[in-house]
Structure 1
Amino acid sequence: MRVLIAEDDLSLGTGLVDLLGRDGFECVLVGDGRAAEAAFRDDPFPIVVLDIVMPGQDGLTLCRTLRAIAPQTQIMLLSARGETFDKARGLQLGADDYVAKPFDPSELRARLSAMARRARAVPSADARFKMGDVWIDPAALIAIRDGEEISLTQRELCLLRLLYTHAGQAVSRNQLFDHCWGRDYFPNSRALDQYISTLRGKIEWDPKQPCLIETVHGVGYRHPVSPAR
């Protein structure tokens, strides 16, 4: 699987290429944010590893840009700064994972392998996918539970697909707005919460105790990997 690595430390970058190459990853290394964005726009990668502090364009800004271009891409942030602020900010801007430098090579490899599994699980545009005991049929714009068909809007489908493709990960409000409304949508609107409430009313057994669409306070929403009924 192809991996784009944006790291201005050449020694660390080449080390990452060698490390991930052992697991069969095909890595492309660039040394700044603008080169990373150009490479991604030319041919989007399923996995991207971004240093937060680098010339041209910082990793946090680039993370949000890449997330808007390709919502299904798995993004990992690397930073020598271990502050809680960086982690929260990264998640809010759409990162899937965060690793502080210096890192344990075995842990990094395990995290990248998990990201690769999630990237392979991304469904095609019309492929049905399952969230808990509910099947989602994009082509028919319906959800199905126990043989009962539940109508969905395009935006509801968009929200469900994004949560599904990031199962187990917190999907930020900004990420949901960018992907399902567009980057120019005003993020303070309560429209997202209203849509989530409506969706829960359609697909949750108990909307007051949701198990398919969980709230991640201060970040956004999450579809758990193994939702309980």
Structure 2
Amino acid sequence: MNVLLVEDDVELAQFIQKGLQSEGIPVSMAYDGIIGRSLVNEHSYDVVVLDVNIPGLNGYDLCRFIKQNWPAIPVILLTALGSLDNKVLGFESGADDYLTKPFAFKELVFRLKALARRHSSRPLLPKRLTLLDLELDTQSHQVWRAGQRITLTAREYALLEYLLVNQGRVVSRVSIQENVWDVHFNTNTNVVDVYINYLRRKIDTVEPKLVHTVFGVGYMIGAEP
């Protein structure tokens, strides 16, 4: 596993680098977003860890850049900004995970390894996933409903893809957390419900409604609840 760490706190960055290297994980470092973007352009990484408040190019924008060009690279946002709004903004930017400071180093290692493992073992999907008049292209990440193109954020797309892969089956919030966000995060947050609502506003503007709530269990996508 090869990691890129973009963190402007030099002392913290060096602490993380030494810790990961002691785990046998190679780490490249950048102290601002511009250098981080250059390194991503020039090298191949298994996981990228980004601080949000970094000079040159902030972590949200750098995350968007990575996901637009290399959507398969997992990104962890590492930041002191821990509110739900900040987390939603991070996931809107395409982040796969969000770890707030201060954090336990062992948790960071666990999340890095889990992200790298899950992404490397992700099964191949067919080029098109369809449900009635809803179509999703797994290669171009484009989505259409009733022949109209729908623009989704990276996280909305990942959620819709997971629901379509499991269409007709109820998936729990925990299952969504583990498979769309890749690792466990605070289950007290309602970020899954927030993103379900985002998705409904975009794909369920026509009949029939496709995203259904199964109260006390989770969500499903299908022609019938």
TM-score, scaled to structure 1? 0.62
Question: What amino acid is the match of 2:194?
Answer: G
Say if 1:174 and 1:29 are closer, same or farther in 2 by CA, change over 3 A. same
Pick from 193, 205, 208: which aligns with 1:217? 193
Superposed displacement of residue 218, structure 1: 2.6
String of CA shifts for 1:13-34, please: whole Å, max 9, x gaps. 0111111112221100110000
Q: Which residue of 1 aligns with 2:120?
A: 120
Number of positions where the alignment pairs a residue of Structure 1 with one of Structure 2: 174
Maintained 8 Å contact 2:47/2:115? yes
Shift of 1:178: 8.6
Alpha carbons 1:76, 1:98 under 8 Å: kept: yes
Residue 75 of structure 1 is matched in structure 2 by 75
The within-5 A match list for 1:66-215 is: 66-122=66-122, 129=124, 136-137=125-126, 155-158=136-139, 173-175=152-154, 200=164, 204=167, 206=168, 210-211=170-171
| Identity within the alignment, % | 28
Q: 1:10 to 1:69 in 2, by over 3 A?
A: same
Change (3 A) 1:103 1:23: same
Q: Could you tell me which amino acid in structure 2 is paired with residue 157 of structure 1?
A: T
Query: CA contact under 8 A between 2:92 and 2:155: conserved in structure 1?
Result: no
Partner residue of 1:10?
A: 10
Using a 3 Å threshold, how does the CA distance of structure 1 residues 142 and 85 change in structure 2: closer, same or farther? Answer: closer
Q: 1:155 to 1:55 in 2, by over 3 A?
A: same
Q: Can you give the 5+ residue segments of structure 1 that lack an aligned partner in the other structure? A: 124-128, 130-135, 144-149, 161-171, 180-191, 222-227
RMSD: 4.0
Name the SS for the 1:41 alignment partner: helix
- Whether 2:43 is the aligned partner of 1:43: answer yes
**Aligned partners of 1:142 and 1:80: how far apart in 2?**
38
**How far off is 1:173 after superposition?**
3.3
1:101-159 Cα distance to aligned partner (Å, 9 max, x none) = 11111111111111121232246xxxxx3xxxxxx455xx699xxxxxx9xx9943338
Summarize the Cα distance change of 1:154–1:2 in structure 2 as closer, same or farther, 3 Å threshold: farther
Instruction: Give 1:83 deviation, angstroms.
Output: 1.9
Read off the aligned partner of 1:175 and give its amino acid letter.
A
Contact 2:91 2:155 in 1 (8 A): no
Taking a change above 3 Å as real, the CA distance of residues 43 and 159 of structure 1, as seen in their structure-2 partners, is same
